[in-house]
Amino acid sequence: MGIRHAESADIPALLAIEEQSFATDRMTQRNFRYAIRQAKGVVLVAYRQVPKVQERPPSYQPGGYGVVGFHAGTPFARLTSFAVAPDKRGQGLGRSLLAALEKAAADHGCRGMRLEVRADNSAAIALYTAAGYRCFSTYPDYYEDGMAALRLEKLLGPGH
């Protein structure tokens, strides 16, 4: 498994992961393109290397991705989108990807990371809780379908 920066060529795979992972509130091609090109954040992908087959080179197709934004005036990075393809879940990609995104935020000088997660997404809540995130607020009726969002945060850096 590896983690790398997303490239424009990854966008079709990222859109497929979005389609498989979210029924509403999906990132669009334009959203991904902007996030990959802009300097106020980072888009990382997690992958499992597919071995070389005959004359084809090894594949580094994304199995998951995360988008983090850095904003002036706040010490917190914001995880704006995070997903692992259904057939890649349970293999540690999500944990590794989240840790890499946290490191990128800390390296950027952020002292913490915040995110919103659907109140009914128990798998994601379990991942974030196991990684040390805590709920500090909720947004009722946050998603297109009326579902509430839990607001989670984690302090980054030494001792956290």
- The verdict on residue 155 lying in a domain is no
* CA gap 51, 148 in Å, rounded: 42
| Residue 87 within any structural domain of the chain | yes
What pLDDT is attached to residue 42?
Answer: 95
Rounded to an integer, what distance in angstroms lies between the CA atom of residue 45 and that of residue 147? 27
Residue 9 lies in a domain: yes
pLDDT, tens digit (0-9, with 9 covering 90-100), for 34-72? 999 987 899 999 987 665 555 545 457 889 999 999 988
Residue 54, pLDDT score: 55
Residue 31 is assigned to a structural domain of this protein: yes
Tokens standing for residue 55: 């004359």
Question: pLDDT tens across 93-128, in order?
Answer: 999 999 999 999 999 999 999 999 999 999 999 999
What is the 8-class DSSP label of residue 141?
T
Q: What is the spatial distance between Cα 152 and Cα 132, in angstroms, rounded to a whole number?
A: 10
> Is pLDDT of 23 > 90?
no
**Domain assignment of residue 24, yes or no:** yes
Q: Is residue 139 part of a domain?
A: no
Q: What angle do CA 36, 127, 96 make, to 5 degrees?
A: 50
Whether the predicted pLDDT of 81 surpasses 90: yes
Give residues with Cβ within 8 angstroms of 33, minimum separation 6. 8, 11
Largest CA distance in the chain: 53
Residue 158 has pLDDT above 80, yes or no: no
Residues of the chain with pLDDT > 70, as a percent, come to: 91
**CB-side neighbour CA atoms (13 Å) of 83:** 20
Mean pLDDT of 141-153: 95
